[in-house]
Each structure stands twice: as C-alpha cells, then as structure tokens.
Amino acid sequence: MRLKKTSFMVLFLWFSLDIIGVPKLVEAAGVFSLDMLSEIMLAVILIGYLYHWRFTDYLAILFYSIWGFLQYWFHWRYLIFGATSMEIKGYNKAFGSMYHIMPTSDIKIVPDAYHIILHILLVLNLIFTIQGIMKRSAKLNQ
C-alpha cells in the first residue's frame, strides 16, 4: 500500500511538470489543455485516496488505462511499429529539443526522457493499483 501511494505521488508530481513546464524537459501544456484535464483527474484520485473513497482504485484503473492507451497511440506505436518520415519529422519538431536518453534520429522515433519516465510511472501505478484491488478482494473472500 505504501509503495502504491508513493508511486502515485511521484506520478502526480512528475506529470505536474507538464502543466508548469521545465525547459529542455517538457513544455508547459497550459491551463486549457487535455493535459490539464488529466492533472485534474489525478487530483480527484489523490483526494479519493486521502478520503478513502471505496471506488478510487477503480477510477484510477479506468483513468490509467485510457491515459495509457492514449500515450501508446501518440508515442509508443511509432516506436514499436515504425513511422513515416513525415511523422518522424513532426515528432522530432515537437520533442527533439527535449532531453533524450538516446539521441534523436531521422529514421526512427526516439522518445524523450520525460515521456519514458512518465510511461514507466503510469505502468507502475496501474500494476500497483490492480495488485491493491486483488489483495483487498482476497481479504474479503477469506
């Protein structure tokens, strides 16, 4: 449980960087953006955890799943299945000036460091939340 809470707080704080922006790491998405809507959803989940709402884990799983799919659709599918040269140029224009773990490429999309960390945190939170539900379910069935 403690690991889940810590992981969630790291995700919440890490994604908050997207709202305020950090030079060379992530551009500010701004207040009127889909990213801000995601930040509000994370805040609702945080409030649910703080007030021990019973449905918070289910809301979190739904949100993580939708968010994960969108991240896959806009980032990872190009890495996994390849992208056209036009898509690569567009991706590099949007994220090319950000920090990268691996250098950018003109023939393949290379995700920036911010998104790699974001996606790892997203997957970890999904796993920890499912694990928490399974443990709670096992306790109820005893």
How does pLDDT run across 88-122, given as a tens digit for each residue?
Answer: 999 999 999 999 999 888 898 999 999 999 999 99
Mean pLDDT of 29-50: 94
Q: Where are the alpha helices (DSSP H) in 24-76?
A: 34-50, 56-71
C-alpha separations of 123 from 4, 12, 100 in Å: 12, 13, 20
Q: CA-to-CA distance for 114 and 23, rounded, in angstroms?
A: 11
Does the pLDDT value for residue 22 go beyond 90?
A: yes
Q: What is the domain extent for residue 14?
A: 2-140
Does the pLDDT value for residue 1 go beyond 80?
A: no
Q: How many domains does the chain have?
A: 1
Mean pLDDT of 44-71: 95
CB atoms within 10 A of CB 9: 12
pTM, entire model? 0.91
